[in-house]
Amino acid sequence: MTSLLVLIVVVLLGIAVWQLTKIFDLTQIGAKKENSEIANDNDNNVNGYLMFGFLVFIYLTTIFCVVKFGDLPLMSNSASEHGADYDNLMWISMILIFIVQTITQGLLHFFAFKYRGKDGNKALYFADNDKLEFIWTIIPVIVLAGLILYGLYAWTNIMFVDEEEDVMYVELYAKQFSWEARYAGQDNSLGKANVRYIEGVNTLGVDLSDPNAQDDKQVSELHLPVGKKIVFKMRSQDVLHSAYMPHFRAQMNCVPGMVTQFAFKPTMTTDEMRNSPDMVEKVARINKIRAKKSAELVAKGQAALDSYTFDYLLLCNKICGASHYNMQMKIVVESEADFKKWLSEKPALGKVIKDAKAAEAPATEAAVPAVKAEAVKVDSTKALAQVK
């Protein structure tokens, strides 16, 4: 209701201002010599200088953004083998865009200023110029073709998985609003799965009649061995999600009803990334902001924020619902030995589900005699009553 009233007030204010300007215009009739709707030299000059002003504005905004936010994009310090290729492609594209936009915007606004209207000037009739058209067509063609070919080459390299190579299979399972992961176990082969099999602790819908499924291991925190190529098989339970691991320059959609794939080799452990100069600087900056915020919170009598420690993350990069922003899973990259130790402590899925069923079964069986005994008790009470 309040917003409706505010809206009405804003609309009425707008109408009032509009009417006032009309009244102001009417009072000006006859006051000025020049009251024509046709642009004169003064108007043209104003427009010409405004064009220049706008050019200065976009240049200054660009410089400001580069200086202030230039260190925020992830364009270096990647933690995967293909990351350097990816970053190169990004750098080349961004530098090209930057140079081309600086030159074209400069020319556009300069000529708009230089050839602003002048009383008595006549436009030059200029039909065409083949040489000029050829130049401004062929340069973008060559540059864009080069970029596209390089992009295709990088993409093919990133997406190629050599089946002969020693790889590890991991499933990433997306659902509103969390992630789960499944390791292929000793046989390095993920068991079949389907949403129809989801029941009780089998939250991934793994088909337990598949022998490959028995030794699979289900986890809610992703650990990866450094230097080993991991082939991720992605599935989704409900809607379209996107598995996004920014520090590894990896992203792939998770589509309900199909399995998608992305593979990469982590090259930096979590500890190495935490200690890299770029990350140390970034974390210090984040903690400075948090300390400032904490001081404000403490002044209000609330609890201070914890200091931030870097962790790799798996995020969802498709807006998949209300809690999409919080759909994330921690990733730990560690040495192969640490990884093996961690994984060996996780129970196999076949055993987990068998144990869960066994735990359910005695409870049901125990419940049945209790019910029977109760029934007997009721019957005997009834019989006693009848006897009495």
Binding residues for Cu ion (CB under 5 A)? 241, 316, 320, 327
Q: Which is nearer to Cu ion, 245 or 327 (CB)?
A: 327
Distance of closest approach, residue 198 Cβ to Cu ion, in angstroms: 18
Q: Which is nearer to Cu ion, 230 or 329 (CB)?
A: 329
Round to whole Å and give the CA distance between 239 and 255: 7
Distance of closest approach, residue 176 Cβ to Cu ion, in angstroms: 7
Distance of closest approach, residue 320 Cβ to Cu ion, in angstroms: 3
Q: Kind of pairing, strands 167-175 and 229-236?
A: parallel
Distance of closest approach, residue 174 Cβ to Cu ion, in angstroms: 6
Q: Which is nearer to Cu ion, 49 or 325 (CB)?
A: 325
Distance of closest approach, residue 288 Cβ to Cu ion, in angstroms: 31
Q: Which is nearer to Cu ion, 252 or 316 (CB)?
A: 316
Distance of closest approach, residue 285 Cβ to Cu ion, in angstroms: 28
Q: Which is nearer to Cu ion, 88 or 261 (CB)?
A: 261
Q: Which is nearer to Cu ion, 161 or 255 (CB)?
A: 255
Q: Which is nearer to Cu ion, 235 or 241 (CB)?
A: 241
Q: Which is nearer to Cu ion, 105 or 237 (CB)?
A: 237
Distance of closest approach, residue 259 Cβ to Cu ion, in angstroms: 17
Distance of closest approach, residue 239 Cβ to Cu ion, in angstroms: 7
